[in-house]
Amino acid sequence: MVNEIWRGTLRKMRAQPGAEAQPVQYALADGWWNPDERTTDHPLNQYLGRELQIEFNGAIACVYCGRSTRKSFSQGFCYPCFQARAEADICIVKPEKCHYHDESDPCRDEDFAHTHCFKPHILYVSLTSGLKVGITRRPNVPSRWIDQGATNAVPLAELPDRRAVGLAEAHLRDQAGLADKTHWTKLLKFEHGEGDLEAYAIQVATLLEGMGVSVLPEAERKVHAFRYPVEVYPAKVKSFNLDKGPRAGGVLQGIKGQYLIFPDGVINLRKYTGYQVTVSAD
């Protein structure tokens, strides 16, 4: 028999690195737009090997303004916020396309730009489904790596703002042919991706120096390692879809990145940001 353990508006799970080679600790976190009305976080690791069910109640709310919406745009926006808010602009996904200084297409929000974009960003390499490069704001280290399901990551360079780090990443991707994406099915089928991260880090650091980008001191370019609470990796990966069926779950076999792994499928909770759900467990 399962009983309700949590009710709220989905957003990405909160995650903390495990201490002393322990697995990452996950918790459900409420994405309701008003912080004062959010449901308390609920730890998830305790449900490994137990029945866990997620039921979508049919309502979706914008996590930025609370407006009811029939469809969630770009992970949690209603359509008006998707069109107007700086958090949903193209340069968030493709930072090399920053248009802050373009008078014909000015930034949507000056305060957001100075709070989020004109801050130090880290260019890193990681091992997810394979070797890749990536970028994130300095305060998002190491949570960004965990969200991507990285088993190992190495910070390589710090750049002054989002556009600068985006241009460096785009050059590595477009000119040097380096991957900047994760193959999610491979990520969930194996404990570790393929590749020698330390050798890859040396290769990318050399490329950065050739581009005129200063790399971090060697002492700061250390390997960060993460373990995930996974008991069984699926041989074949298929997804639950809350838009087609309101329920997802089964015996919880693992958590990696932002995915919950069950015998009959996986679900990326971040994909359903803004969906209002009830979670039950035995």
Q: Tell me, what's the pLDDT at 21?
A: 82
Query: Which residue is associated with the tokens 């914008």?
Result: 62
Weakly modelled stretches of the chain, pLDDT under 50: none
Parent domain of 234: 3-281
What is residue 59's three-state secondary structure? strand
Q: Tell me, what's the pLDDT at 1?
A: 80
For 147, list phi and psi in degrees, rounded to 5: -60, -30
**Structural domain total, the chain:** 1
Q: Tell me, what's the pLDDT at 75?
A: 86
Distance CA 182, CA 235 (A): 18
102 vs 97, 99, 118, 133, 239, CA distance in Å?
11, 5, 16, 28, 41
pTM of the model: 0.95
Distance CA 279, CA 242 (A): 13
Distance CA 36, CA 66 (A): 13
- The stretches of the chain forming alpha helices (DSSP H) are 79-84, 90-93, 110-112, 143-147, 162-174, 184-189, 197-210
212 vs 157, 164, 220, 275, CA distance in Å?
11, 12, 19, 44
